[in-house]
């Protein structure tokens, strides 16, 4: 690494060290953090405390859909905060009602509940499922191997990855895992207690794996046949990231029967607020009134401030045709990554994904990584940081590109050439 990226001068290291020291002393060490302290950003770029610039292709893990410091978000925050930041959900507010209507308009007949995060949105759907099956004694929810559904107790029980559960047993009962994209296994797993199935359209943390059209359509038919609710966790792959509002709309494009597909519930968060915390779940009619007054709540769910920001984001995405941008530029980037896979098979093994949710899978044995205990994904990400690019590892072998939806063509080009530069250093 030294030969191509020199060690930063002491001044830079000292500024970073003083921030790290604050964390070491005061912040719960539950995150494996990179040696980077970020200070500010603009558009697709962020700057660290020493002023070094990074092209942010990680987007805060699929959150910063309009990049950093977007004036429309700043204006929405300022304007709404002058009127009303928060009131209790004991009252009606127009921004929450309008945002719910925007979501219903884009998905289908149903209703929306607002939360603060993705995990909390999923918790709400789990409660809908429990309520739906309650009188028949059905409560079990099937989720996929390698899925990710959040870090709450129900979230880790729902998540199909052992490493997320480890140390927190006993798991909350009522969740079982089925292999992803395997319809027959799903059918075989259904028990008399099963009430719902939840999947991601594109598994994110699990390594950027899209569902097949057959799996989606087959699950819909299976759920109808067995009277199960079909939920999609769109926390990471939703909000136009794949080039359509929902990933299933992109996956099923042009597929016979695809236009009629609709899950029964969808959880959302991340890009919905572009960095301002907000989550939501949509639940299809006729299930949308299952959670009646007094059955579910969240103090901060759907504050006027969060909803005003989310409404503004919809406006910008539509006005600037950012879904089309994610699709076109995403397709271009995927092609480029696939070119790199062909050119450097000893370093990169596979490239996959949809729109601006792309994964680059690294080869198993990269000699330059052998000396370190750290995973290939972490070591590759560290090298990209040194080259001035942020990406997000997924598991041990995959790096994810989840850039802002308004990424520019020349920024996409810059990202690809820096990635190629790092790959070349590993050949
Ligand atoms: C698919 C999916 N579901 C749920 C979550 C949890 O969201 P949050 O971290 O906002 O609770 C995530 C977070 O990465 C996610 O990717």
Is 123 buried (19+), middle (13-18) or exposed (0-12) by CB count in 10 A?
buried
CA angle, residues 161, 165, 167, in degrees to nearest 5: 145
**What pLDDT was estimated at residue 10?**
57
**What pLDDT was estimated at residue 8?**
60
Length of the chain: 427
CA of 61 to the centre of ligand 1 (A): 9
CA of 383 to the centre of ligand 1 (A): 26
Q: Is 327 in the pocket of ligand 1 (CB under 6 A)?
A: no
Structure tokens given for 168: 């927190």
Is 310 buried (19+), middle (13-18) or exposed (0-12) by CB count in 10 A?
buried
Q: Is 123 in the pocket of ligand 1 (CB under 6 A)?
A: no
pLDDT digits (tens, 9 = 90+) for 289-313: 999 999 999 999 999 999 999 999 9
Mean pLDDT value of segment 392-398: 97
CA of 297 to the centre of ligand 1 (A): 19
199 CA to centre of own chain: 13
Strands across the sheet containing 348-354: 348-354, 357-362, 398-401, 392-394
**What pLDDT was estimated at residue 351?**
98
pLDDT digits (tens, 9 = 90+) for 100-158: 999 999 999 999 999 999 999 999 999 999 999 999 999 999 999 999 999 999 999 99
**What pLDDT was estimated at residue 1?**
45
55 CA to centre of own chain: 19
Mean pLDDT value of segment 263-281: 98
Q: Is 118 in the pocket of ligand 1 (CB under 6 A)?
A: yes
The Cα 97–Cα 118 span in angstroms is 20
255, 217 contact by CB (below 8 A): yes
CA of 62 to the centre of ligand 1 (A): 10
The Cα 96–Cα 339 span in angstroms is 45
Q: How confident is the model at residue 2 (pLDDT cuts 50, 70, 90)?
A: very low
Ligand 1 atom with the smallest distance to the CA of 237 is: 1
CA of 267 to the centre of ligand 1 (A): 9
Closest Cα partner for 180 from 154, 198, 156?
A: 198
CA of 204 to the centre of ligand 1 (A): 9
Mean pLDDT value of segment 15-24: 96
CA of 73 to the centre of ligand 1 (A): 22
260 CA to centre of own chain: 25
The Cα 396–Cα 375 span in angstroms is 5
Average predicted confidence (pLDDT) for the chain: 96
Q: Is 205 in the pocket of ligand 1 (CB under 6 A)?
A: yes
**What pLDDT was estimated at residue 14?**
81
Mean pLDDT value of segment 396-405: 98
> Cβ of 305: how many Cβ atoms within 10 Å?
22
41, 67 contact by CB (below 8 A): yes
Ligand 1 pocket test, candidate residues 118, 141, 233, 298, most atoms within 8 A of CB: 118
Q: Is 415 in the pocket of ligand 1 (CB under 6 A)?
A: no
β-strands 279-284, 202-203: how paired?
Answer: unpaired
**What pLDDT was estimated at residue 6?**
62
CA of 147 to the centre of ligand 1 (A): 10
Closest Cα partner for 411 from 36, 60, 40, 45?
A: 45
Residue ID of nearest Cα to ligand 1 atom 16? 236
CA of 5 to the centre of ligand 1 (A): 33
**What pLDDT was estimated at residue 9?**
59
Kind plus residue range of the DSSP H or E element containing 13: helix 10-26
Q: Is 200 in the pocket of ligand 1 (CB under 6 A)?
A: yes
Q: Is the pLDDT of residue 5 over 90?
A: no
Ligand 1 atom with the smallest distance to the CA of 61 is: 14
Q: Is 237 in the pocket of ligand 1 (CB under 6 A)?
A: no
Q: Is the pLDDT of residue 37 over 60?
A: yes
Percentage of residues in the chain having pLDDT higher than 70: 97
CA of 132 to the centre of ligand 1 (A): 24
Q: Is the pLDDT of residue 231 over 90?
A: yes
43, 222 contact by CB (below 8 A): no
Ligand 1 pocket test, candidate residues 30, 146, 149, 398, most atoms within 8 A of CB: 149
Residues whose CB falls within 8 Å of the CB of residue 410, separated by 6 or more in sequence, listed in order: none
Q: Is 233 in the pocket of ligand 1 (CB under 6 A)?
A: yes
β-strands 357-362, 279-284: how paired?
Answer: unpaired
**What pLDDT was estimated at residue 13?**
61
């Amino acid at each position: 690494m030294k030969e191509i990226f020199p060690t930063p001068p002491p001044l830079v290291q000292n500024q970073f060290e003083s921030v790290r020291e604050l964390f070491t002393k005061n912040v719960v060490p539950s995150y494996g953090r990179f040696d980077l302290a970020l200070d500010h950003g603009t558009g697709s770029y962020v700057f660290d405390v020493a002023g070094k610039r990074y092209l942010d292709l990680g987007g805060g893990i699929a959150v910063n859909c309009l990049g950093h410091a977007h004036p429309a978000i700043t204006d929405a925050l300022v304007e709404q905060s002058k009127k009303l930041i928060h009131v209790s959900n004991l009252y009606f507010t127009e921004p929450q009602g309008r945002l719910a209507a925007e979501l219903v308009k884009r998905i289908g007949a149903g209703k929306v509940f607002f939360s603060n995060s993705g995990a909390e949105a999923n918790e709400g759907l789990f409660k809908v499922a429990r309520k739906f099956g309650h009188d028949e004694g059905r409560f079990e929810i099937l989720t996929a191997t390698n899925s990710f559904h959040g870090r709450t107790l129900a979230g880790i029980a729902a998540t199909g990855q052992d490493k997320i559960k480890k140390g927190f047993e006993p798991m909350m009962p009522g969740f079982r895992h089925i292999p992803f994209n395997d319809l027959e296994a799903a059918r075989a797993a259904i028990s008399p207690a099963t009430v719902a199935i939840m999947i991601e359209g594109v598994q994110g943390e699990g390594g950027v794996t899209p569902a097949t059209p057959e799996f989606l359509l087959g699950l819909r038919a299976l759920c109808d046949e067995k009277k199960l609710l079909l939920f999609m966790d769109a926390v990471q792959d939703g909000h136009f990231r794949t080039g359509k509002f929902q990933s299933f709309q992109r996956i099923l494009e042009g597929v016979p029967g695809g236009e009629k597909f609709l899950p029964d519930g969808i959880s959302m968060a991340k890009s919905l607020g572009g960095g301002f915390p907000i989550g939501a779940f949509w639940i299809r009619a006729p299930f949308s009134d299952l959670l009646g007054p007094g059955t579910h709540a969240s103090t901060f769910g759907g504050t006027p401030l969060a909803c005003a920001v989310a409404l503004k984001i919809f406006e910008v995405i539509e006005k600037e045709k950012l879904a089309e941008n994610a699709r076109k530029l995403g397709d271009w980037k995927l092609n480029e990554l696939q070119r790199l896979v062909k050119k450097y098979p000893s370093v990169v093994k596979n490239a996959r994904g949809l729109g601006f949710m792309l994964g680059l899978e690294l080869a198993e044995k990269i000699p330059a990584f052998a000396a370190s205990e750290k995973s290939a994904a972490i070591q590759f990400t560290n090298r990209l940081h040194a080259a001035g690019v942020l990406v997000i590892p997924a598991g041990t072998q995959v790096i994810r590109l989840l850039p802002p939806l308004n990424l520019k063509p020349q920024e996409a080009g810059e990202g690809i050439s820096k990635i190629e530069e790092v790959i070349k250093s590993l050949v």
